[in-house]
A and B are shown apart, each in its own frame.
Chain A
């Protein structure tokens, strides 16, 4: 089992059934991703990058094929086990940040800890993580709507990291940021990779993709280079 990849997509197909006909967003995709890889997924718009990320993040179920995460077949898990895997093993960073609007910056980071330990955090972990991703502590009590894009993305990264996940899924994390801010975010992700995280990144920007050590190229739902 030790040579089993951290993530394995085995012949995964995802079909969206629409009134105008079926859309094959992923077409028999097989990919292995090893522990501590830094992978960039690239491809034209509509090629299936986000669909693939949703599969990797077990937010969606494949129409056919299987997904294994640390050797476990996701399809065989219960809903609750999947929820716990999302909470404990995977950190999500989205283009639109997706912070919880009713919570402060600090509470957004504390939230996954509460989900996991079922109580408020008093270990100072949330504050420490926020600091480590370069978030200005003076803004801790601000709501997401009161923060800039770069600040929100730092909170989102801190939130993704707080439960110490093995996998970081980043769907265009720099997409809504200016170039300079984007690169500081990428520096942060590179640092996390060097600390041992497995980072999977979707981007349109070749400069951003340069941070990764491997690129998976998608076209029309197929892997054309990996």
Chain B
């Protein structure tokens, strides 16, 4: 399309290039603010949500603590708490094809060379370990006294593959059992929502664990890893019906409620920072409005000429809206490019993780910011354009 009114607008912008550029800077700032604020908020949300949802498909089953209180009948209430082998079987039945992981855990002292420490020790079935533990170094245990260790414990004690750890209280009169480090786990951080934060843990086979800490055939925790997270409540209900038949013996929990509440907090935070970004667009709108009014008042006589020789008012309006649109496009393109650069720097400086930056949910804020910038620009031109098209041609012609 070769529209003469578009040509006229382009020429007007070119004629007043510096002024137009200055007006566009407002839009540039607005677009950058909206886009980088939006990306900052979204990246924050994505990172936190991803860390949280790492365990959202896990149902964590623990013995009901009520049972551990001294009971008034018989001995049941005072026995060591745990999920029994028969309860585990019921859980496996109810969980269907989902992975069921029984876990033993307690906290213990240990020594590496001459330094002592305290941390948790967990016992896993060796096959389960192979399936769910992703070591960053070494391998999963094969031998009875092989262990893998969490990232924090590894770095604190400078553990290497092959390091030996003495488990238990330092006591001169007793020879403590020893495990050998065969693998080191990566940092888990916040994704402890599956109930196993391995960062500060020593992980051993369940047989070794039972031999040292007792409790064979009794477990401190059972995790059910769902293949399909949408079956969460169905599986939970099935387990509850099967195991908690007569009385509450196990407690069933998951991370979904926590994820929902944290992500809703984060999304209101994002809205809030976006709102702050939008204020800058308001400032941009004012500067565009100003420049458009200037353009109209500088071109009064020209408008008078256009109207007097038969230009429709709609065509005059269009000419000025084009001008606002061109200013918007210039601002949006510069702003779009800058917001990728600035947004990336802001996200990497403030969150320190740009892994999600180029995901659609995040990068969409660049075109969205550009579009909003253009819309704001054109909207700011509506009144000036209307004013131009409604001039009295004779009055306008007399203007100098």
| Interface residues in chain A, defined as those with a beta carbon under 8 Å from any beta carbon in chain B | 54, 57, 59-60, 79-80, 83-88, 92, 94, 98-103, 107, 111-112, 114-115, 119-120, 159
The closest CB in chain A to the CB of B310 belongs to A87
Across the A-B interface, the 6 shortest Cβ-Cβ residue pairs: A87-B310, A86-B310, A102-B11, A98-B305, A114-B4, A59-B393
| Complexed CA–CA distance, A99 and B312 (Å) | 17
Tell me the total A-B contact number using a CB cutoff of 8 A: 57
A111 — which chain B residues lie within 8 A by C-beta? Answer: 4, 309
CB distance from A159 to the nearest CB of B (A): 7
Q: Is the CB of B308 within 8 A of A92?
A: yes
Q: How far apart sit A115 and B307, CA to CA, in the bound complex (Å)?
A: 11
A98 CB contacts on chain B under 8 angstroms: 301, 304-305, 308, 397
The residue in chain B whose Cβ has the minimal distance to the Cβ of A110 is B4
Number of interface residues of B (CB under 8 A): 22
Question: Within the complex, which residue of B309, B315, B394 is in contact with A54, where a contact is CB–CB below 8 Å?
Answer: B394
Q: Would you call B4 and A80 a contact (CB within 8 A)?
A: no
For B302, B306, B309, B311, the residue with the greatest tally of chain A CB atoms inside 10 Å of its CB is B309
Please state if B15 and A57 are interface contacts (CB–CB under 8 Å): no
Residues of B within 8 A of A (CB): 2, 4, 8, 11-12, 15, 301-302, 304-313, 315, 393-394, 397
Among candidates A99, A112, A119, residue contacting B310 with C-beta atoms closer than 8 Å: A112
Query: Would B394 and A92 count as touching, CB distance under 8 A?
Result: no
CB-CB nearest in chain B for A90: B310
User: Nearest chain A CB to B266's CB is how many angstroms away?
Assistant: 51
Q: Is the CB of B302 within 8 A of A88?
A: no
Partner of B302, one of A83, A102, A112: A102
Name B308's contact: one of A59, A99, A120 (CB within 8 Å).
A59
**In the assembly, what is the distance between CA of A159 and CA of B11, in Å?**
20
Q: Which residues of B contact A84 (CB under 8 A)?
A: 310
Q: Once the chains bind, are B310 and A59 in contact (CB under 8 Å)?
A: no
Contacts of A80 in B (CB 8 A): 312
Contact between A86 and B309, CB atoms less than 8 A apart: yes
Q: For B394, what are the chain A residues with a Cβ–Cβ distance below 8 Å?
A: 54, 59-60
